Amino acid sequence: MSVPTATDPSTRTYRTTNPATGEVVREYPPLTDADADALLIRAHAAYQTWRRTPIAERVRLFRKFIELLEANVDELAALVTTEMGKPLAQSVAEMDMVTSTFRYYADNGEKLLADVETEIAGFTRAITRREPVGVVLGIEPWNVPMYQAMRATAPNLMLGNTVLLKPSEICAGSTLFFDHLFAEAGFPANVYQTALVSTTQVSAYIADDRVRAVTLTGSDRAGSAVGEQASRHIKPVVLELGGSDAFIVLESADVEAAADTAAGLRLFLGGQFCNAPKRVIVTDAVADDFIARYVATFAANTLGDPFDPATTVGPLSSSVAADTLEAQYRDAVDKGATVLVPGGRVDGPGAFFTPAVLTDITPDMRIFSEEAFGPLGMIYRVADAAAAVKLANESAYGLGGTVFGDSNAARDVAQQLDTGMVGINNFLGAPAEIPFGGTKRSGVGRELGASGMDQFANIKTYGIS
C-alpha cells in the first residue's frame, strides 16, 4: 500500500499522534545500534530452543494467546483507534482478524507441518518437511497495525521461526502491546519482539546472517528498497505492496448488492487498505442505477470522532496522508473530473477528509495511475466486459479484484484479470485459510494459508534408503 512517510528516514521518530486531534500522545526513544543488535542476539538465541519446541506445545501457547486477545480486545481496539484514527468498531473488527489468524494456525499447524511422503526409485521412502530457518524480520504498516504484525508473526511462530517486528512509526504503541501478551501467554522470552528500529538499522538487520528472511507490507517504493537489499544478501523476501483494485460491475449484476458492497468497502477503514476496491468499472447498461445507489451511500456517511458510535468515517492516519489525498483529488478536479459527491480536506485540527466521488477520470490525472489511499470513490463507465478487463489490467498494480455479474460471465472476466486474488459476487478479503498477495507492482510472494509458512521455511527432503 502506498503509505506516505511523515518525515525523512534519517530523522524518523516513533511518535503516536492522535489523528483526530493532532495531539502528540507519546514519543518513544530511538534505539542505539547496540540496542538493536541486542534484540537480534536475543531473537537468534531464542530460535535455538523454539525450533525444537513440540508442535503440540506451540498450539497450546497459541490457544492461550487467543484467550488473552479476546480478554484484552477493548484495550487493544482503543489503542489502534487512538493511533491511526479508524472508528472503534472497525478496530474491534481488526482484533477479530488477529484472533482468526492465530486460530487458523492453531487448528491446522499439525497438519501443515506434517511430513509429506513420496515414492522415489532407489529409496524406501522420501520425506519432505517444512522446517524453520531462523529469525524473520517483519516490516509492517499502520492501517491495520495489529493484524498486519500478526499476519506475519503467526505462521512463523507456528513454523518454529522467531520474529523481529518493525511497526509503523505512528503505531508503535499498539504493536508493543503484543510483547506483553506473548509473555503473559507463556511463550519463551524473545520469540517475538517489537523492534523500534530506524531504516539504517533495518538495513543492518537485512545484511546480518542471523536474519534469514524478510517480509514487508508497505509502499512499492519501500518494497523496491527492501527487496533489493534482501536480494543482494540472497534472502527470501515477501513484499505485499500497493493496490488499485478494480470492482467490475457487468450488465447482468445485482446492481443494488454491487453498489452497496463497492461503496461500503471504499469507506471501510477510511479507504486505507491495500486490497480495497478503489476503481469501480461499471458497464453502461447499468451505470446510472449503480451510480445513484453508490453516491447515496457516500453522501449518507458521518465523518467525526472515531470513538463516537455514530461515526462511520474517522480521520485519515496523519495530516500527511490527508494532504496527499487532497492533492490527488484537486488534481483530478482541476483537470476536468466530474464531482458526484464533493469532499476534500477539512480545515481545523486532525486529519479529516470528507469522502468524495469522482467520475470522468482521464489518464492525465494522478489518480488514474496512482493509488488513492483514502475515501475517494472513483467510477469509470465502459461499454462492455471486454473494455472493463482492458481498463482493469492497465493498472501497474495487480493485488486483487472483484467482479459482479452472472456467474459464468463473472468467472470469465475474473480469469482475465492480472491479479493475485479475485472475488466473484462478493469481496474476497484476506481469509486466513488462503494465500494473500498480488502481481506486478503489488509485490511478490504470498502470506496466509500454507503459503504463509512456505515463504519462510526450508522445504527439506530426506531420502531414506
Q: Look at residue 76 in the predicted model and tell me its pLDDT.
A: 95
**pLDDT tops 60 at residue 100:** yes
- Above pLDDT 90, what percent of the chain? 95
pLDDT digits 0-9 by tens, 341-369:
999 999 989 999 999 999 999 999 999 99
From the list 83, 140, 169, 240, the catalytic residue is 240
**pLDDT tops 60 at residue 139:** yes
Beta bridge partners of 353: 345
pLDDT digits 0-9 by tens, 280-320:
999 999 999 999 999 999 989 999 999 999 999 999 999 99
pLDDT band, very low/low/confident/very high, at 40 (cuts 50, 70, 90): very high
- Once rounded to an integer, what is the mean pLDDT over residues 115-134? 94
Q: Look at residue 406 in the predicted model and tell me its pLDDT.
A: 97
From the list 83, 94, 169, 274, the catalytic residue is 274
How does DSSP assign 45-93, residue by residue? HHHHHHTTS-HHHHHHHHHHHHHHHHHTHHHHHHHHHHHH---HHHHHH
Q: Look at residue 9 in the predicted model and tell me its pLDDT.
A: 39
Taking the C-alpha atoms of residue 287 and residue 294, their distance in angstroms, rounded to an integer, is: 10
Task: Record the pTM.
Answer: 0.94
- Once rounded to an integer, what is the mean pLDDT over residues 202-229? 96
**pLDDT tops 60 at residue 3:** no
Cell, residue 55: 508442535
Q: Residue 240 catalytic?
A: yes
**pLDDT tops 60 at residue 68:** yes
Q: Are 281 and 253 in contact (CB under 8 A)?
A: no
Taking the C-alpha atoms of residue 249 and residue 286, their distance in angstroms, rounded to an integer, is: 8
- Provide long-range contacts, Cβ within 8 A and 24+ apart, for 345-352: 346/303, 349/21, 349/22, 350/19, 350/20, 350/21, 350/22, 350/315, 351/19, 351/20, 351/22, 351/85, 351/315, 351/316, 351/317, 351/318, 351/319, 351/321, 351/322, 352/20, 352/303, 352/315, 352/316, 352/322
Q: Are 285 and 409 in contact (CB under 8 A)?
A: no
- Above pLDDT 70, what percent of the chain? 97
Q: Look at residue 30 in the predicted model and tell me its pLDDT.
A: 87
pLDDT band, very low/low/confident/very high, at 41 (cuts 50, 70, 90): very high
pLDDT digits 0-9 by tens, 363-385:
999 999 999 999 999 999 999 99
**pLDDT tops 60 at residue 118:** yes
Q: Are 298 and 65 in contact (CB under 8 A)?
A: no
pLDDT band, very low/low/confident/very high, at 12 (cuts 50, 70, 90): low
Beta bridge partners of 403: 248, 424
- Once rounded to an integer, what is the mean pLDDT over residues 178-203? 97
- Once rounded to an integer, what is the mean pLDDT over residues 251-266? 97
- Once rounded to an integer, what is the mean pLDDT over residues 228-242? 96
Cell, residue 107: 487448528
Q: Which residue has the cell 453502461?
A: 284
* Lowest mean per-residue pLDDT among 8-17, 47-56, 86-95: 8-17
Q: Look at residue 13 in the predicted model and tell me its pLDDT.
A: 87
pLDDT digits 0-9 by tens, 427-464:
999 999 999 999 999 999 999 999 999 999 999 999 99
Q: Are 99 and 66 in contact (CB under 8 A)?
A: yes
Instruction: Work out the mean pLDDT of the chain and round it to a whole number.
Output: 95
Taking the C-alpha atoms of residue 78 and residue 276, their distance in angstroms, rounded to an integer, is: 23
Q: Residue 447 catalytic?
A: no
Q: Look at residue 6 in the predicted model and tell me its pLDDT.
A: 35
